[in-house]
């Protein structure tokens, strides 16, 4: 019987057979200490959280925009079904034959 060892990157979870490759993956990921974020806030008239509305990350001469996304952790299937019914009404007014010709 052979035993197989895998090495897992602590940051992204990718598995490697070679320890050095896993270490290289870990060193490749940008860390909190060397990230340059620029904070942008929405007006306090509309946002009372105090949290930035979006972040601009400058990395290797490029800029990345990170948007805040509000996620409802509790699953509410009943409300989702209501939304589907609304979508059905939208479809009623559309022509089904669109797209051909």
Interacting residues toward Zn ion by CB under 5 A? 9, 11-12, 14, 25
Instruction: Quote the CA–CA distance of 26 and 76 in Å, as a whole number.
Output: 38
Token pair, residue 66, equals 């990170």
Instruction: Quote the CA–CA distance of 57 and 63 in Å, as a whole number.
Output: 6
Nearer to Zn ion, 27 or 49 (CB): 27
- CB 32, min distance to Zn ion, A: 15
CB 8 within 8 A of CB 21: no
CB 25 within 8 A of CB 9: yes
Nearer to Zn ion, 34 or 43 (CB): 34
- CB 66, min distance to Zn ion, A: 19
Nearer to Zn ion, 42 or 57 (CB): 57
- CB 10, min distance to Zn ion, A: 8
């Amino acid at each position: 019987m052979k035993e197989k060892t895998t090495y897992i990157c602590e940051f992204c979870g990718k598995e490697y057979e070679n320890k050095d490759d896993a270490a290289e993956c870990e060193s490749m990921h940008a860390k909190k200490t060397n990230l340059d974020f620029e904070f942008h806030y929405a007006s306090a008239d509309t946002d009372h959280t105090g949290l930035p509305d979006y972040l601009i990350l400058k990395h290797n001469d490029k800029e990345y925009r990170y948007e805040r996304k509000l996620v409802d952790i509790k699953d509410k299937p009943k409300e989702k079904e209501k939304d589907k019914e609304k979508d059905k009404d939208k479809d009623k007014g559309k022509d089904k034959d669109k797209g051909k010709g």
